[in-house]
Structure 1
Amino acid sequence: MQNYLEFDFKISPLQPWNEILMAELIEVGFDSFTEEHEGILAYVPKDIFDEKELSNIALMNNEEIKISYTYREMPNINWNEEWEKNFEPIYVADKVLIRAEFHEPNPELHEIVIQPKMSFGTGHHPTTHLMIQQMLEMDFTGKTVLDMGCGTSVLAIFAKQRGAGRTVAIDIDEWSVENSKENAVRNNVELNISLGTADNLGSEKFDIILANINRNILISDIPTYEGVLNSGGQLLLSGLCFFDVDDILEVCTKANLVLKNRQQREEWMSLLLEKN
């Protein structure tokens, strides 16, 4: 167990900036959040917190939004245990149930069972929900799949359950890699899981790439994804807000990727593209 800092962020206007701030805080080491009436409570391990990184977050310097915060050191408690107590099952399109082992199973739904450690991608965030919803309409049978920024690997697991062939899952966070390995065993699927970024991709080609990350990383990495995507292959993106779509599509057009479908949940978007 390690000591955490609790940050109390006040945000005005609250929507949609609370969700966007959470996504940006994840990039600088924050790993759990609670939504409040005037903002969010955000938690970061004390030993990795860097106030300079926090002050460099773009949203903190946006003159159209007012963000203030205070913080305090939290008692040394088991945060995984605390988080598990509040983990609720997630239903997607009345077809998919994402649950923990301690939830009641539902044989009428397609189930993904994960251990809800503090890695991103449990399904509670709208972007994970959007990815699963789009994946319901895709054909994974025998396809080679890459889950980039896999988090809990819920997307890679779902792809495998839908008949995917070789499936690779990559994340920059060691905790996510370990959690992904546990969740693959838990769901009786075989994944190739590793620590890294898009820079670690070699010459292997994929039929489908899943990338639920964030705007800046997507813009940087889309040309790399295109390079390892087979002709006619599909790229499913999320982690972006509605006002990011034009910038993302500009990069995709240059990379010979054509938009096939888009979906929105709250202020978040998912885009399905195909390589010509």
Structure 2
Amino acid sequence: MSSTKYLGYYFNVSPIQPATEILIAELGEAGFESFVETENGVNAFIQKEDWRQNILDDIYVLNSDEFDIQFTSEEIEQVNWNKEWEKNFDPIIVDDLCSVRAPFHDKPNTQYDIVIEPKMSFGTGHHETTHMMIQHLLKTDLTHKKVLDMGCGTGVLAILSEMKGAQPIEAIDIDNWCYLNTIENVERNGCHHISTYEGDASLLSGRNYDIIIANINRNILLNDIKTYVKCLNPGGKLFLSGFYTEDLDMISEECLSNGLSFVRNFDRNNWIAALYDLK
């Protein structure tokens, strides 16, 4: 029996974010089926039978002056994805309290141990924004709080919320792969209070929450902050991330104009995760 042949594309990306996230999303739409993020960018894989000559022609980030992206490619035999993850996905520990790891990692001695299979989804905890959102949640009393994880990615923030006593929890992502991956990871971690939906902020009409987590990007946040505020209960908290240090004033101005008060922010490698309260 002949093995499936793949083409591997190896991208070096500068600046690495947000270009890598955009690149992965666009390549996924083009037919690439697996990705491994690296220190310099991302490795992307597609079955040879799904490849076409002009497959990269419509990839926006490759033609954008904002980013410098170089790549090489090669034909390879069938990929052992478990080995790829083992080589490239190390477990992380946040504030000695929360671990995020793959099923093949040893279980660490942490209060909150999250096991995920990231596949094509975002939110492994390695990216600065997810790491900081975990830090925020670790400092927050979530007991019996109704939580929304908007742009849930792998579902890691929703899962941590349940581990900290939140319920019910809703996790939403516009990307089908993220939606399916969150369902899988919710089940893997034995969570029973998380409902997962595929879509965007248009799903939020008539819903209300004590805490909203939105780790997306600046433009979507600026567009949707009004919607989030309408959904927040009095005294509710809004956690926002996915934007840079230079964008904090713009985000805060929009939050303040919608009745929110700035509480605190974390910063990590020029990324920001900020907390706002609704009085």
Instruction: Classify the TM-score, shorter chain.
Output: 0.7 to 0.9
- Structure 2: tracts of 5 or more residues without a match: 29-34
1:106 to 1:42, Cα distance in 2 relative to 1, 3 A: closer
Partner of 1:205: 208
Identity %: 37
Letter in 2 for 1:221: D
Task: Give the aligned length.
Answer: 263
Choose the corresponding residue for 1:100, options 102, 123, 126.
Answer: 102
Partner of 1:222: 225
Q: Distance in 2 between matches of 1:197 and 1:72?
A: 34
Q: Distance in 2 between matches of 1:26 and 1:248?
A: 25
Letter in 2 for 1:124: H
Q: Distance in 2 between matches of 1:44 and 1:249?
A: 39
Q: Distance in 1 between matches of 2:51 and 2:147?
A: 35
> Aligned-pair distance for 1:27?
4.6
Partner of 1:14: none
Residue range with higher mean Cα deviation, 156-165 or 83-92? 83-92
1:4 to 1:129, Cα distance in 2 relative to 1, 3 A: farther
- Structure 1: tracts of 5 or more residues without a match: 12-16
Q: Distance in 2 between matches of 1:91 and 1:146?
A: 23
> Aligned-pair distance for 1:172?
1.4
TM-score (norm 2): 0.84
Q: Which 4+ residue blocks in structure 1 deviate beyond 4 angstroms?
A: 1-5, 44-50
Q: Distance in 2 between matches of 1:194 and 1:10?
A: 31
1:239 aligns with 2:237: no
Partner of 2:82: 81
Contact 2:5 2:76 in 1 (8 A): no
1:264 aligns with 2:267: yes
Q: Distance in 2 between matches of 1:195 and 1:180?
A: 10
Q: Provide the secondary structure at the position in 1 that maps to 2:131.
A: helix
Q: Structure 2 matches for 1:115-264, cutoff 5 A?
A: 115-190=117-192, 191-264=194-267
Q: Distance in 1 between matches of 2:143 and 2:127?
A: 27
Partner of 2:32: none
* Alpha-carbon displacement from aligned partner over 1:200-235 (angstroms, at most 9, x marks no partner): 222110010111111111111111111111121101
Letter in 2 for 1:184: V
Question: CA RMSD of the aligned region, Å?
Answer: 2.5
Letter in 1 for 2:231: V
